[in-house]
Structure 1
Amino acid sequence: MQQTSTIELTILMPCLNEAETLAVCVNKALGYLERSGVVGEVLIADNGSTDGSQQIAESLGARVVAIAEKGYGSALNGGIEHARGTYVIMGDADDSYDFSRLDGFVERLRAGDELVMGNRFRGGIEPGAMPPLHKYLGNPVLSWIGRMLFRSPIKDFHCGLRGFNRQSMLDLHLQTTGMEFASEMVVKSTLGGSRVSEVPTTLAKDGRNRPPHLRSWRDGWRHLRFLLIFSPRWLFLIPGTAAFLLGFVGVMLLSFGPVVVGRVGFTYSSQLYLAALTVVGYQSVLFAILTKIYAQQEGFRIPRSRNFDRLQKRISLESGAVVGLLLFLIGLGVAVTQLIGWASNDFGPLEAGTTLRAAIPAALLMMLGSQTIMAGMFLGVLSVGVKRS
């Protein structure tokens, strides 16, 4: 057995009942290592196969590790941990990727790139290899969203053939267990400032007779959900800010009287709904800020944002309490003034429109103040220093 320190490359394949195509993939990978002179190994991360895949791989000279936790991400994470190579090239064991043509990946890895993605749209997709839904909608749209949200240079986010520096990938602490693992790897590498590149690769038709493990809508949604949750700015901050500004400005304008635009009139009923929009928008903004603070403290979003660091230094439990209390007192002052006016009229009948136009912004300010105070208190909880292992 070769010593760990002498192995440059691990060719890693996740496996779940791949007996039909596994031998072809393993032989191509071993053939590449022999032809190229790269010192390496072929590693099969088996996720509970019951069709004899393990025996097939071992008989051909591959190393097999059993990964108990189910899922595509779990199998790959386990395989990366067990890999002995400085570099890892991973790919599906369904014979859709050609493991005999890995020179481009090795060249970029040796040049110092920490993640090298295959690009199937540049390398070529054989007829029938990718469903039209994936080729023209799923992959292009999800890759575009990933580039937009995270400023990633990758144009094929979900290519299954990719190479990376093993230690760099371990340092990212990848967590997802399912198909969204593919997106997590690209997103965290990009956010972490890793050197990322692409090389053309081909995609052949799946060599198996059974349906693939991939489920288009379910797994597509899991990828999209991961991309959105990992970008609180686009999911919470920008929509929340827009909702807050629209609602708050509308509430304040209507506090002076009805507003007529063309043939449409807006009065206190509109003001009430705008106040609700303001609260929802403000809560979304606070959630975005708190999520970003938590994510940075846990090391999820690397490198840290300088602008956000400056903002974080200015907000605290104390500053949140002061601002929140000020907003609450302004709203309370308006409410008390209304109460005094009502008392001066012997608590008689009130004119609904005039009363509501002042009561709604007063109640809104008290709610915003309370939210700010509670957000400041939660920020205080996040700021408590803890000992980390």
Structure 2
Amino acid sequence: MTVDVSVILPTMNEEKAISVVLPKLQESLEKMGLSYEIIVVDKSVDNTPDIASSLGALVIPQKNRGYGDAYITGFNNARGKYIVMGDPDGSYDFSELPKLLEPLLRDEADLVICTRLKGRIEKGAMPWLHRYVGNPLLTKILNFLFKTKISDAHCGFRAIRRDALEKLPLKCRGMEFASEMIIEAAKAGLRIKEVPITYHPRIGKSKLNSFRDGWRHLRLMLLYSPSYLFLIPGISFVLGGAGLIAYAYNTNPLRVHSLILASLLIIVGFQIINFGIFSKVYSVKEGLEKPDRITKFFMRYSILEEGLLLSAVLLVVGLSVGISIFLKWRASGYGELFEIKQAILVMTLVALGIQLAFFSFFVSILMLKEVS
């Protein structure tokens, strides 16, 4: 049988808080007149599961570890039309649950996220570093990369429609699950709404690790953004190198170090671009992203032949310049030779030609099933 609301609470040694939180949660749901179930996904070594069970919650032991893993386990066992997520440590006031559910009940949103930063944060509830640096900075990065308009991306008090949740391929098992959910919701085109709440000091000791968990959120966002992680830096390197090599080639005296740096920027930048294209094609192949103009271009059947042809052009031009250098050297009786400009040009063209050839083969391998 289905119910109106499934509330999922991940617990790990919350015996002091659970006996306070569950009655408030039940009272709030009963006042709304909704049928409900409370699912406690537990990884405790104290009396948390016994207390939760005695108060009417369904307790599911968590086999693995992690914040995200607990919620994924809860989702797999939930029967509700609406799914509520929340930390059972007393920091979220479950008497404010109606504010969270009403936009879903009125069909104004698919996902509702509470915001502490636009609500009220009680003294001692959130460390200064989280309130003024970590949360705002990571939220702004998420908004920039994924075109969202969230004020508090890491607030764990949320509600989502079951049919909307089924559209999200959630996989992260750690704290970065909170960011993944918003990213996938934005990609799926879900209607996201925020509601301000009051954030209270938690009951018991916090299990967060500020820098480790912050890095996990940032890491996830970068891995979800191959264009910003690879393509933009790679193109910037190539353009910077090209500009520098053009400048160094047309100045006197000869700027050898500038030429070497320019060649390095071009070669490294081109390799970074290759990684970016690999990532985008792989994401499309695995169903993580929809094809865009870049991936459609590189996922064509003829990309191998076109890449090898351009690679051959680069190699022929580079080797031709190299041969001319050798002929000059031989004509001078194999003595001293000062052809730095041409030598750096040969090195750059040959390196790019080789990279392009192997890049073309690798992309074609990723597309093997489609082109065979």
Aligned to 2:303: 316
Question: Which sections of structure 2, spanning at least 5 residues, go unmatched?
Answer: none
Aligned residues between the structures: 368
Letter in 1 for 2:131: K
Q: Distance in 2 between matches of 1:19 and 1:374?
A: 58
1:225 equivalent in alignment to 2:219:
yes
2:235 to 217, 241, 252: 241
Question: 2:281, 2:299 within 8 Å by CA — same for their partners in 1?
Answer: no
Letter in 2 for 1:243: F
Q: Distance in 1 between matches of 2:95 and 2:313?
A: 68
2:195 to 177, 199, 210: 199
**How much has 1:175 moved relative to structure 2?**
1.3
Letter in 2 for 1:201: I
1:277 to 261, 265, 277: 265
Paired residues for 1:1-389 under 5 Å: 3=1, 5=2, 7-46=3-42, 48-110=43-105, 111=107, 113-208=109-204, 210=205, 212-258=206-252, 267-301=255-289, 303-305=290-292, 307-312=293-298, 316-351=303-338, 355-385=339-369
**How much has 1:169 moved relative to structure 2?**
2.4
Q: Distance in 2 between matches of 1:124 and 1:311?
A: 49
Instruction: Classify 1:50/1:132 alpha carbon distance in 2 versus 1 (closer, same or farther; 3 Å).
Output: same
Q: Distance in 2 between matches of 1:242 and 1:376?
A: 22
Q: Distance in 2 between matches of 1:52 and 1:329?
A: 74
Letter in 1 for 2:162: R
Letter in 1 for 2:168: L
Q: Distance in 1 between matches of 2:45 and 2:244?
A: 63
What is the identity percentage for the equivalent residue pairs of Structure 1 and Structure 2? 36
**How much has 1:202 moved relative to structure 2?**
1.7
SS at match of 1:119: strand
**TM-score using structure 2 length:** 0.94
SS at match of 1:197: strand
Q: Distance in 1 between matches of 2:29 and 2:243?
A: 66
**TM-score using structure 1 length:** 0.90
Deviations 1:227-276 (A, max 9, x none): 112111222111111111111232244234447xxxxxx71122112211
Q: Distance in 2 between matches of 1:258 and 1:68?
A: 69
Q: Distance in 2 between matches of 1:88 and 1:162?
A: 8
